[in-house]
Structure formats: C-alpha cells, structure tokens
Amino acid sequence: MHRREPSGPRARDPAVGRLPTDDAEVPGFLHGLGLDGMVDMHVHVMPDRLQESVWNWFDALEDPVWPIRFRTDAPTRLAHLAETGVVAHTALAYAHRPGMLGWLNDHTLAMAEAHPQVVPTFTIYPDDDVDEQVTRALDRGGRVCKVHTQVGHYHLSDPRLATTWERLADAGVLVLAHVTVVYGVEGGDEWCGIDTLADLLDRHPDLRVVVAHLGMPELDDTLALARQAPDTVLLDPSMALHDGEHLQQSFSSAQLRALADRWEQLVFGSDFPSIPHDLAAQLRGLDRLALAPHQWRAILHHTPTPHLTPP
C-alpha cells in the first residue's frame, strides 16, 4: 500500500463541520460526515467487582489526579455509548493473575451475546489453559483480543502463547495490544516496549494488531512499526490525542504530520469508561491531524468495521 511521506503542515479541511463540544453533539457531527454512527475500539466492560477495583486504583492517583468521568453502572454506560452514536464497541478486560481467563471471557463474550453492538471480545494470559480458553472464545465468535503486558506481567514471547498467536492470526482476530508503560503503575517495565510487539510481528507477520494509546510514550517507535507493517498494524489514539483537561500528551508538529500520514491505519478508541473526559474530547483531539471528511469516515467507521465480523 503506497503512501506519500508527510511534507508540511496540513490546514483544517473546511468541509468538516463544527466539532462537538460535548457527547450530546457527537451524533450530529457524525451525521455531517455522512455516518450513521462510529466504532469505538477501546471500551472496557469488566465484571462489576473488577471494574470497581480498577476505579479504586485510579482514585489513588495524585500526580496528576485521574477523575473518572463515567462512574456509573454497566447499563447506564452502554446507554451513553449508544446515545453518543457508538454503533459498535469492544468489551475489553484483562487478566493480572492465573485462573482469571474463564471468568473474564465468559463475562465479555456474554455481553456481546446480549447486546448486538458489543463486539465479541476476549483476553489471553500465559496460563495452563490458555489454548482451551482461546478455543472457547473463538467458538463464541471472538473478534478482538485484549493484551496488557505490564498489568499481566508477562512477555509476548512467553512460550505458552506461541500457539495462541498462530491461532489468532489464522482466525483474523484483532489483538488490541497495550505494551507500553502505564502512568501510575509501579513496576512491570521489563514486560513492556514497542520492540516486544515488533519482535512478535517478526515471528507472526500475519497477526493483526491495534497499538493501544498510540504506544505512548514510544510514539516514534510506534510510527516506525506502522510504516513497516501498513497492512497488519492499526493505531488506537485513546487517551493520547484528546483536548481534555487532564493528562494531555505533547506532540511535535512532525509527529502530528506523521500520524496524519498514517490515517489509513488509525481507528477510533476512547478507553471508556475510565477516562477523565468525554468522547467528544477524543474527537476534538483527532482534529489536530486536520483530517478530510473521507479520512474521518475511515477512522471512525470504515477501517475497523471489516475486522469485526468473521471472514
């Protein structure tokens, strides 16, 4: 797939309408682009007690603080996504110790079976029963697999996962991979790095991955990986490109141009519900790339959609 290299700053396309100031205005913004809705590739739908534990962890952060914008029950959260124009979204969860896979995957896959807008989502962990759990997930239609190496404390190269990667590649499953260091998490750095993902793709070049959070803070390495694998690597800008008050990231003009040049590999992600801003802030952040209407349509809907149903 040929792409020209970025040459200079891009001007905002006047054909793109007024950006939403809040989530209530998102459906109108989408309609102005010619879309009936958008796909959110980075939504968490954890079991209630695990979700509460995650929120309690965020509550303890102090420098800076991380207020939870959508601290409500699961039905209310799903309703908000629908009202905001999200027509399809993941149900991400991840294991941090052995013995969790069955419980987590039963929950996230059941959400997809009960709610047609939820993409069948599962997770993996280098546990003794990982092959069995992957079989169960694929049999139930699993299309997106969540990986979080710092929280899980495992290497992508763990030999217990060797067969797993082959099976996910063969099934065309998207692996949403969080492989860089998380703000506020102590330890686990040794499991992280975009280089670990590059090594995985060297071993399994047909594996399709979505790099969570643009791989921040390793954006340049992420962009290099995206250039090397334009047909198998997608980029999720959740909690990276936004204009919310909390936890803003810094980008050079060259990095923004390089991201804009990767528009065919970008997909929308929000990290809902554990975010300190609304989804509209993520859309306003994407506007920093000065996207044309057809590029917005690709990022918000057209690029991820073919991956969400079995081939």
- CATH code of 160's domain: 3.20.20.140
Rounded to an integer, what distance in angstroms lies between the CA atom of residue 39 and that of residue 127?
31
Is 55 a domain residue?
yes
Is 15 a domain residue?
no
* pLDDT in the model for residue 10: 67
Is 240 a domain residue?
yes
Give the total number of structural domains in the chain: 1
Is 4 a domain residue?
no
Is 9 a domain residue?
no
pLDDT tens, position by position, for the chain (311 residues)? 333 333 444 677 777 878 999 999 999 999 999 999 999 999 999 999 999 998 998 888 877 888 899 999 999 999 999 999 999 999 999 998 888 999 999 999 999 999 999 999 999 999 999 999 999 999 999 999 999 998 888 999 999 999 999 999 999 999 999 999 876 666 677 889 999 999 999 999 999 999 999 999 999 999 999 999 999 999 999 999 998 777 778 899 999 999 999 999 999 999 999 999 999 999 999 999 999 999 999 999 999 999 998 87
Is 67 a domain residue?
yes
Is 90 a domain residue?
yes
Before 116, cis peptide (omega within 30)? no
Its pTM stands at 0.93
Rounded to an integer, what distance in angstroms lies between the CA atom of residue 168 and that of residue 139?
12
Range of the domain at 184: 37-308
Among 228, 221, 302, 218, smallest CA distance to 263 is for 302
Is 196 a domain residue?
yes
Handedness of CA 108, 113, 117, 119 (dihedral sign): positive
* pLDDT in the model for residue 62: 79
Non-local CB neighbours of 46 within 8 Å, separated by 6+ positions: 54, 92, 93, 104, 107
